[in-house]
Amino acid sequence: MPAQKSLPMRPVEPVQSGQADTADSTPSVWVVTGYRAGERNQVLALGEALGWPFELKELAYRRSEFRTSLFRGSDLRGIRLDKSSPLAPPWPDLLISAGMRNEPVCRWIRAQQGGRTRIVHIGRPWSDADRFDLVVTTPQYRLPQHPNVLQNTLTLHRATPARLAQEGARWQAHFASLPGPRTAVILGGNSGPYTLGVKNARAIASQVEAHARQRGGSLMISTSARTSSAVIDVFEREITVPHVLYRWRPNDVENPYFGILALCDDLVVTADSISMLSEACATGKPVWMAPLGGYGYPMREYRSEPVDFRLSALTYSGLMRWGPRRLSRDIRLVHQRLLEQGRVAWLGEPAASSTAQSDDMTRAVERVRALLFQGISD
């Protein structure tokens, strides 16, 4: 496939907040990337949307070091300094990060700045919300209400109108032979009590095949880091309508994902990934969620989905039922909110009634800007 160019580290398409920046007021920003793909995309998305230059900090973690994170420490014992980005003065005014392993590092950096560095954490924090200046989260983490917590419906993402327009133009010729309407099929993988295995893959493949055949269209299938080879093999064997299928590869410069989002007419997304659902909803096109079978916590209570056995899924179901809430998440809470808002529908049911765009990123940018300008003037 044609190459996808690396995205710039300087922000693109900043969200307008109504407050102009000047050379004197522009903060120094570090983006500490997450160690999971979804977290990495979210911290980069917020860094880009703020409209300020930022430094990207990549960390290498020690597998054996968990004490600092577990007991909410503030040091660098959990990372390998020789393999990480330099952490040295001048220290930043703002840190954007995600993931439990990054929390102690961010607190250590703030201490070097005499406590003046603002920390914005995305997703679910391990420490209490009081230890951050802002936490941007979503319903599945079930965080209690707190002045420092911004509760969004969907995750932050990089599927901006400008990026989609650019990638759509770039991939137009590559997908020109596919007949319309084109349905994007975005495949995730195992998540908590839910397993995307062969049984679920066959059920989804059958439904999207029928969806495309009924309309005389085609499928644009994209896998992800969590999609197993067995699942991909199912789609390669059983899809017979015109289609393309991209097998995800790490650091692949030929990944057509944003081009698929831009050029499809509607989307089917496996409901295990809130990040992929967020990006799909950002296109303003009809979105169907493909449910997965799970133990004890069905995505659709009124219908049973195929269940692919996975011991860790069964264990996670028990953790959700009997363990502390902070150790698990319930993605059904996001599904329910999107369904109530009429923004998505379950695969096989009538299309959603609304394609309204989310204001989650705008709200996050406004909170961060207010935090920074207040902090710098103190």
Read off the pTM.
0.86
Kindly state the tokens that stand for 28.
């120094």
Answer whether residue 56 shows pLDDT above 60: yes
Prior bond of 193 cis (ω within 30°): no
The string of pLDDT tens digits covering residues 67-125 is: 555 556 787 888 888 999 999 999 999 999 998 889 999 999 999 989 999 999 999 99
The string of pLDDT tens digits covering residues 253-263 is: 889 999 999 99
Prior bond of 90 cis (ω within 30°): yes
pLDDT for res 72: 62
pLDDT for res 64: 67
* CA–CA dist 355, 284 (Å, integer): 5
pLDDT-above-70 percentage for the chain: 90
Architecture label for domain 161-357: 3-Layer(aba) Sandwich (3.40)
pLDDT for res 7: 30
pLDDT band at 9 (very low <50, low <70, confident <90, very high): very low
Contact 254, 3 (CB under 8 A): yes
**Max CA distance (Å), the chain:** 63
Contact 275, 42 (CB under 8 A): yes
pLDDT band at 13 (very low <50, low <70, confident <90, very high): very low
Q: Residue type for 193, please?
A: P
Contact 164, 283 (CB under 8 A): yes
β-bridge pairing 266-270 and 149-151: unpaired
Kindly state the tokens that stand for 263.
């050029």
Does 234 or 3 have the greater pLDDT score? 234
- Give all strands (DSSP E) within the chain, no chain letters: 29-32, 54-57, 94-98, 118-122, 134-137, 149-151, 182-186, 218-222, 243-246, 266-270, 287-290, 345-346
Contact 68, 53 (CB under 8 A): no
Q: How far is CA 333 from the centre of its chain?
A: 16
pLDDT for res 337: 94
Helix (H, G, I), strand (E, B) or coil at 371: helix
Average pLDDT taken over every residue of the chain: 88
pLDDT for res 1: 37
Averaged over 176-191, what is the pLDDT? 96
Beta bridge partners of 243: 219
pLDDT for res 5: 31
Helix (H, G, I), strand (E, B) or coil at 110: helix
Backbone dihedral angles phi then psi of residue 111, each to the nearest 5 degrees = -65, -35
| DSSP type of residue 113 | T
Does 155 or 377 have the greater pLDDT score? 155
The CA distances from residue 169 to 186, 248, 254, 259, 285, in Å, are: 20, 21, 15, 8, 18
pLDDT band at 375 (very low <50, low <70, confident <90, very high): very low
Contact 239, 201 (CB under 8 A): no
Strands of the sheet with 218-222, listed across from one edge: 243-246, 218-222, 182-186, 266-270, 287-290, 345-346
- b/e sequence 239-254, b meaning 16+ C-beta within 10 Å: bebbbbebebeeeeee
pLDDT for res 4: 33
The string of pLDDT tens digits covering residues 356-366 is: 777 899 999 99
Q: Do the first three CATH levels of 29-152+361-377 and 161-357 match, i.e. the same topology?
A: yes
The string of pLDDT tens digits covering residues 228-285 is: 999 999 999 999 999 999 999 988 888 999 999 999 999 999 999 999 999 999 999 9
Backbone dihedral angles phi then psi of residue 136, each to the nearest 5 degrees = -105, 115
Among residues 199, 189, 285, 185, the alpha carbon closest in space to that of 244 is found at 185
- All structural domains of the chain with their residue ranges: 29-152+361-377, 161-357
β-bridge pairing 345-346 and 182-186: unpaired
The CA distances from residue 357 to 3, 163, 281, 284, 337, in Å, are: 29, 16, 7, 6, 14
pLDDT for res 46: 96
pLDDT for res 78: 83
Q: Which fold has domain 29-152+361-377?
A: Rossmann fold (3.40.50)
pLDDT for res 25: 76
Averaged over 183-212, what is the pLDDT? 96
